[in-house]
């Protein structure tokens, strides 16, 4: 039997639903997004573009340092953007502190270890 490998991979275009500012990532946006749920095959999570955003911190985290966390300063305080199982070098453009980038991601609310947090789940950095 033949192994398909990458031949079986379907590459879908990245469709941005809206361009917003990091300052707009807040509990009001989460409430609006929750009204669009549940998300799944026929109802994908909205994908946002954040243009010319400048990280204050870029780091790998996790037990074996296999995830990426980027911190941004906003009018509302710090905002965290994360990607699981992807290192900073794995994005289209490697994020660097004090260098503007375009962040592509989903806005989500996390309840990890009893801590409520609104953050961006990174899809790519351009």
Q: In 3-state terms, what secondary structure has residue 113? A: helix
Can you list the residues of the chain whose pLDDT is less than 50? 1
pLDDT of residue 13: 66
pLDDT at 10: 54
**Is 44 within the bounds of a domain?**
yes
The whole-number pLDDT of residue 84 equals 95
Give a yes or no: residue 27 inside a domain.
Answer: yes
pLDDT digits (tens, 9 = 90+) for 50-75: 999 999 999 999 999 999 999 999 98
What per-residue confidence (pLDDT) applies to 1? 46
Q: How far apart, in whole angstroms, are the C-alpha atoms of residue 49 and residue 106?
A: 9
Instruction: Report the Cα–Cα distance between both ends of the chain, in Å, rounded.
Output: 39
The model's pLDDT over 79-88, given as tens digits with 9 standing for 90+, comes to 999 999 999 9
Residue 14: what pLDDT? 72
- Tell me whether residue 10 is in a domain: no
Q: Which domain range does residue 113 map to?
A: 15-125
What is the pLDDT at residue 60?
A: 93
> Which pLDDT does position 41 carry in this prediction?
82
Domains held by the chain: number = 1
Report the candidate in 119, 108, 118 with the shortest Cα–Cα distance to residue 45.
108
Q: What's the whole-model pTM score?
A: 0.84
Residue 1 to residue 23: CA distance in whole angstroms: 52
Res 93: pLDDT: 96
Give the CATH number for residue 98: 2.40.50.460
Q: What is the mean pLDDT of the chain?
A: 88
pLDDT score recorded for residue 4: 55
pLDDT on residue 12: 61
**77 belongs to a structural domain:** yes
């Amino acid at each position: 039997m033949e192994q398909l490998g990458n031949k079986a991979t379907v590459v879908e275009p990245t469709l941005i639903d809206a361009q917003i500012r990091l300052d707009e990532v807040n509990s009001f946006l989460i409430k609006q997004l929750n009204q669009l749920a549940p998300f799944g095959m026929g109802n994908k999570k909205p994908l946002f573009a954040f243009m010319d955003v400048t990280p204050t911190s870029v780091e790998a985290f996790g037990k074996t340092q296999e995830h990426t966390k980027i911190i941004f300063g906003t009018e509302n305080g710090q905002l965290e953007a994360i990607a699981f199982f992807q290192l900073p070098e794995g994005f289209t453009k490697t994020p660097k502190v004090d260098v503007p980038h375009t962040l592509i991601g989903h806005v989500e609310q996390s309840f990890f270890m009893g801590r409520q947090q609104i953050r961006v789940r990174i899809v790519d950095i351009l």
